[in-house]
Amino acid sequence: MNDNLHQLRCFGCGARISGSEARPDFRCANCGDLFEVEYPGWLSRQGHDRPNPGALKWLWRERRCSSETLDQSGVWRFRELLPILNNFGNAVTLLEGNTPLYPLPRAARALGIDQLFAKHQGMNPTGSFKDTGMTAALSVARERSFEWVACASTGNTSAAMAAYAARAGLRSLVLIPEGKIAWGKLSQAMDYGAVTCQLKTDFDGCVKVLAQIVQEAPIYLLNSVNPYRLEGQKTPAFEIAEAFDWNVPDHLIVPGGNLANSSALGKGFRELRELGLVARMPRISVIQAEGANPLVQSFAKFQGEKIEPVEAHTRASAIRIGNPASWRKAAQAVKETGGWCLDVTETEIAIAKAELGAEGLGCEPASAVTLGGLKKLRADGKIAPAETVVLLLTGHTLKDADYTINFHRGTLLEQREASGHEQAIDALRRDAVSVDATPAAVLAAMKDAAL
């Protein structure tokens, strides 16, 4: 039996092609826009490939107790909604997904909302949400017999790609902006055996170089222009819906960089609604760093219809992206769900990250924009106290330990950035202290900290 039920549809001009017809750069030959995966058998209510909602909800839950490898993956557990492979036996998995949904009672209390949760995608095998997309797209690469896979990255995509390629026995090529990614992520690409090239440019420059390379050599591109990445990255939407017993939360808040994740989650919830698994979609809001906010500017100037690239600057290096590939898809998700797109300052990111840390939930700076954004939305009256809100945390705190240590040592922010926020920052800072190796000195340090 062939498990493959998909085709590709251009997001710009609507042209439809089969999966095998996609160009190496995954751009539409007619208009240059990106493709998205669609499943024609789902389109009509009588379509015989159209999944049965009740049966699926039961099956997916049952699989959580299964000992089959594919069932243990939080992506492939939902494989009926991503039939992209000829044979699911070709899936390359590290048992990604099934990530925790944590309540955030302290932040909820401070913000005056009843129900606040963090869906922690940093709890994936390589420490970021990229694993869910990589298991899907790398499996396609393996099924199509590629020997090499490649990506340009701010660090997490490359870590995920290198790991999944290693599992599949494929070679991987990583292009990263020199000196601009966190050490934790660079170390992963090295450890998983990628050919890692640091280019003297930014992320957007790496993307350009790679687009040329894949035209010249048989290398499978695994950046999020690859529509199969988004098929994996839509599955946290299914997990969230399932966790709320198929009553979706009111609001989902997602960081925005290259804008694939918000696009994918939008697609996931849209498909659940279209197939009758949920009654509505949550609002989806996208939060960017102030210095890397092309989508925010696009909404402010062009109602999300057009984008102008920016030169990106932020310490949240994962989202230091000025020319996001999936902006059109993300704008659609925000618009159709009635969400918002806004930005937060470097100081707001640092404080939000430390607040999440103080609740026992570390995350990357790029993930903390979600809490920073929530505070602004709440202050603007855009979120009511009775609403249920989920923050999507995208990366593990250990990815960028330097950032965290600098914050707690007081060396992260410049004086002008900290100015006016000293009280909030001081309340959160926990620098390590040097003490004599005696019980009395340690007890004295505890006493000092309690003051």
* Footprint on this chain of ligand F0G (rule: CB under 6 A): 128, 130, 153-157, 224, 255-261, 318-319, 364, 366-367, 394-395
CA 54-55-61 angle, 5° bins = 95
The residue (of 83 and 155) whose beta carbon lies closer to ligand F0G is 155
- Least Å distance, CB 352 to ligand F0G, is 13
Compare residues 155 and 362 and give the one whose CB is closer to ligand F0G: 155
For residue 71 the two structure tokens come to 């069932």
- In this structure, the strands spanning 115-120 and 388-393 are parallel
CB of 129 to ligand F0G, least distance (A): 7
CB-wise, 394 or 404, nearer to ligand F0G? 394
Tell me whether residue 190 or residue 279 sits nearer to ligand F0G (CB atom): 190
- How long is the chain? 451
Instruction: State in angstroms the smallest separation of the CB of 149 from ligand F0G.
Output: 14
Closest CB to ligand F0G among residues 51, 362: 362
Helices (runs of H) and strands (runs of E) counted in the chain = 18, 13
CB of 295 to ligand F0G, least distance (A): 9
Closest contact distance (angstroms) between CB of 180 and ligand F0G is 11
CB of 49 vs ligand F0G, minimal distance in Å = 29
The CA distance from 375 to 392, in Å, is 15
For residue 72, the minimal CB distance to ligand F0G (Å) is: 24
Residue 160 or 412: which CB sits closer to ligand F0G? 160
Task: Rank residues 51 and 282 by Cβ distance to ligand F0G and give the closer one.
Answer: 282
Which residues lie across from 143 on neighbouring strands?
none
